[in-house]
Structure 1
Amino acid sequence: MNQNFQPKIKLNNGLLIPQLGLGVWKTSLNETQQMVKNAIENDYVLIDTAKQYGNEEAVGHGIQEGLAATDRQRNSIFLTTKIFNGDQGDYDKLRKAFNLQLKKLQTDYVDLLLLHWPVNNKYNESWRALQDIYADGQAKAIGVCNFNVERMTDLLAHAKVTPAVNQIEFNPLIHQPEIVDFCHKQNIQLEAWSPLGNGRLLTNDVITKIAKQHHKTPAQVILRWEVQQNFVILSKTTHPQRMRENANIFNFALTDSEIESINQLDQEKHAIWYDKFKWSGNPDGVDDYIAKPGAF
């Protein structure tokens, strides 16, 4: 894969976002630094992290090493991070905390800044801060994660800037059709976290049969299914060979019948821990919860 030929999607503010990216949730500091470097060396452009993951500093180091190894510049990387739940709701606190995030990432801007969760009674004030961060050029685009229709409707009623992105859990086991349809109508780009469903579908009979027909891996079939629904996908692997495999999904297409057979796998079941975060934004209802890298 050559980054010059990577598919990109135009966001509602005109910014182009790569359709395939690397996520770094659940990885240790050493793993994160190495996998980000490896990803850049393998022509990944989009890197997605968050303060809550506890590894932004390692991402910053990995980007610098990747840029040095490939003779690229910072503007060749599409960097996403997210506002920590415990920093939400207080305008000044959020902006100070975000400035520290930029320092850890070794950059003076991010390409996309997201609210990590729609924390009750806080996300509208947080969005006010993100709008000013966007206006000041510290983020080229702003968006949200895990917003359902109710909370997105409320946000839009108070917002001056429509979110460019809503990053949600999406894979063949969970489609979230209501928020997907809402975002399509509002021209809000959807990103898929956990696009492979934590590996639960890699041995599924429907997926493996389609994979054999296309001479692809089950993971490639699942990612292709999401690409054909115009999602930005954030795959995660620490192995360079799997990075290359995950990127090799733009040279085939699933048929309508294959897409429909995968659609039938939907169970509308979130990740096992998901409901513990709604809507306080963390598993224990404690605002200052940050993961130790690799803890989840």
Structure 2
Amino acid sequence: MPWLGLGVFQVEDGETVAASVEEAIVQGYRHIDTAAVYENEEGVGEGIRRGMERAGITRDELFITSKLWNADQGYERALEAYRESTARLGLDQLDLYLIHWPVENKFTESWRALEDLYKEEKVGAIGVSNFQIHHLETLLQTAEIVPAINQVERHPRLVQTELFKYLTEKNIHPVAWAPLAQGGIFNEPVLVEMAESLGKTVAQVVLKWHLQTGWAVIPKSVKKHRIYENADLYDFELNEEQVKAINEMDQHRRVGPDPDNFDF
């Protein structure tokens, strides 16, 4: 799985998301992350096809992720939902399929369905999203396969130190959604000063921090120059003091729902 991907949460289906995905692939992105509930899988699929043609690449050079929505959880429905997602995307299979949220009393059955999809080689890898440590502990009591990744909210105001340590111990790779706190950290003085000293944007500094601290990232953008900037991360490094300064911005503060208290 490429550690840098394009996220498409809240990106309108149709030409908007198709153009964003196409541009990302042309600019070198190889990981695209969507979900059934985003209601844009058809547009993502169109963008994938257009991007591959323009970039001159084949399907096996891309890594495509989607997610099982809460209303589709449970064994039989999860299997159907996977088929529906691949059909909307126009793909034979996904490289990664995730349980989107830990729906109580359902996610273990959903996981059994994902395990069967994996065993039957209908999906490249399976994982979870928004799982806290106790959700994973419950899952692992009956799971035959350890989730490949856990995709959770993570940014300088929610560093997720304890969860990262647990995931590392279990060999579950962490992926950050809302890695820029949905833009909420762009005016932070510490980050602004750091970005100016490095000749980079605040977004680039924060995305680099994620990568250097062991997290994959899926920033969202529909703007051509932002898609480029978000991937232009490999000609600089943060030093130990800079990484520490960002870690110390942690306020355990979310911009999205709490996985222990959601009702959708």
2:35 matches 1:70 = no
How big is the shift at 1:279? 5.0
How big is the shift at 1:281? 5.5
2:112 matches 1:128 = yes
2:1 matches 1:41 = no
How big is the shift at 1:176? 2.0
- CA deviations 1:11-59 (Å, max 9, x no partner) are xxxxxx1010000001111211110011111110000000011111111
AA partner of residue 257 (structure 2): Y
AA partner of residue 114 (structure 1): L
Q: Which one of 81, 87, 106 corresponds to residue 72 of structure 2?
A: 87
How big is the shift at 1:251? 1.4
Q: Which one of 32, 35, 54 corresponds to residue 50 of structure 1?
A: 35
- CA deviations 1:215-268 (Å, max 9, x no partner) are 111110000111101111001111111111111111111111111111111110
CA distance in 2, matches of 1:156, 1:20: 27
> Partner of 1:23 in structure 2?
7
- Residue segments in structure 2 that go unaligned for 5+ positions in a row: none
> Partner of 1:184 in structure 2?
168
Q: Which one of 230, 235, 246 corresponds to residue 230 of structure 2?
A: 246
Output the aligned Cα RMSD.
1.1
1:102 alignment partner, SS class = helix
Indicate if the aligned counterparts of 1:193 and 1:234 stay in contact, CA closer than 8 A: yes
> Partner of 1:274 in structure 2?
257
Flag the structure with more relative contact order, 1 or 2, with Cα contacts below 8 A and sequence separation at least 6.
Answer: 1
- Aligned residue pairs total 263
TM-score (norm 2): 0.97
2:153 matches 1:169 = yes
Indicate if the aligned counterparts of 1:117 and 1:146 stay in contact, CA closer than 8 A: yes
2:102 alignment partner, SS class = coil
CA distance in 1, matches of 2:246, 2:71: 38
2:6 alignment partner, SS class = strand
2:82 matches 1:98 = yes
AA partner of residue 192 (structure 2): T
2:65 alignment partner, SS class = strand
AA partner of residue 21 (structure 2): V
2:17 alignment partner, SS class = helix
CA distance in 2, matches of 1:213, 1:93: 52
CA distance in 1, matches of 2:136, 2:84: 28
> Partner of 1:205 in structure 2?
189
How big is the shift at 1:92? 1.5
TM-score (norm 1): 0.87
- Residue segments in structure 1 that go unaligned for 5+ positions in a row: 1-16, 283-296
The alignment-based identity, stated in percent, is: 37
> Partner of 1:258 in structure 2?
242
Q: Which moved further from structure 2: 175-184 or 205-214?
A: 175-184
Compared CA separation, residues 110 and 281, structure 1 to 2 (3 A): farther
